[in-house]
Amino acid sequence: MKELKRIIKAGFINFKRGGSVSFAAVLQVVNTLAVIVMIILLQAVLYSSLNIIKDKVDVTIYFNVGASEDKIMLLKESLFKLPEVASVSYTSADDAIKLFRVRHQNDYSTIAALDEIGNNPLGATLNVTTKEISQYENIVNFLKSDNALILGSSDIINHSNYHDNKLVIDRLNVIISGAQKLGFLLTLYLIISSIIITFNTIRLTIYISREEINVMRLVGASKMRVRGPFMIEGAIYGVIGTIITLIIFWPVTVWLGSNMTSFLGINMYDYYVSNFFQIFAIILLSGILFGVISSFLAVRKYLNK
């Protein structure tokens, strides 16, 4: 414990003695952590946008006029039990004609034609949404399966709009998959490049202390006694960098939440506050790891001479 206290104290002394070089190292850690926070926020925007798109895609099952409501409800329950299904909503024939009249209230010829017919020409519908865009074909396959035939769906189903929307669904599936892959590659590139720059900055701070390292080796100091203070110094960079990064992004997210919510599709300030502790834990751990690992690798060069 006494040796550990000495190492920690030496780390703080190295940090204070570093002056402008330590300040530069902290700024570089802040840059790296800022990139990580921006990636987290951009991913939140991306997934929010993708979810909005997903919510606008669905499959509607149209039933024959006069189809048994009991059979429709039985089919609805069976669909809802499928693991791919997120929601199933039922619209009765009476509700369907009411909605149709509201949508076409300014189209007098259509309304007049309905009045002329007298009877309700529309059947009930089931609106199905899945958890993933790629799962809509599974719903259509279920409707053609033996399980659906047992429920008597072949007698009551008129058609579904899946094939009408298939091109849009396939394109959205490709876009979502591509966006996720691009986001992952961009994240990986930015993090790696930031780590390299941080490592080089910390290596510069240790280069200044190379003579001190050589003296410590000559007097017989252990590798951990030499390496420890610099690793503590690197951890200090990470902790201070975390605090500065969180302070910087607080007013940034306030401004984004006030002015860009309609454009981004998400209130960035609310997201930042609700996920603050997760973001704090991620960047604190990242900052400390960057500093400690960079210091460890940079000192190793002098210990292996």
Neighbouring residues of 244: CB distance < 8 A, sequence distance ≥ 6: 26, 30
Tokens read off for 218: 């000559």
- Amino acid 247: pLDDT: 93
- Amino acid 281: pLDDT: 93
- CA dihedral (40, 188, 204, 1) in degrees, to 10, reads 70
As a CATH number, domain 59-162 is: 3.30.70
- Amino acid 145: pLDDT: 75
Instruction: List the pLDDT tens digit at each of the 305 positions of the chain.
Output: 777 788 788 778 877 877 777 788 888 888 888 888 888 888 888 777 777 777 777 888 888 888 888 888 888 888 888 888 888 999 988 888 888 888 877 877 877 777 777 777 888 898 898 888 778 888 888 877 766 655 556 678 877 887 777 777 777 777 777 777 877 787 778 777 767 776 777 777 777 777 777 777 777 777 777 788 888 888 888 899 999 999 999 999 999 888 877 777 788 899 999 999 999 999 999 888 888 887 887 777 766 65
Indicate the helix (H) or strand (E) that contains 42: helix 20-55
The model scores a pTM over 0.85: no
Ranges for all domains in the chain classified under CATH 3.30.70: 59-162
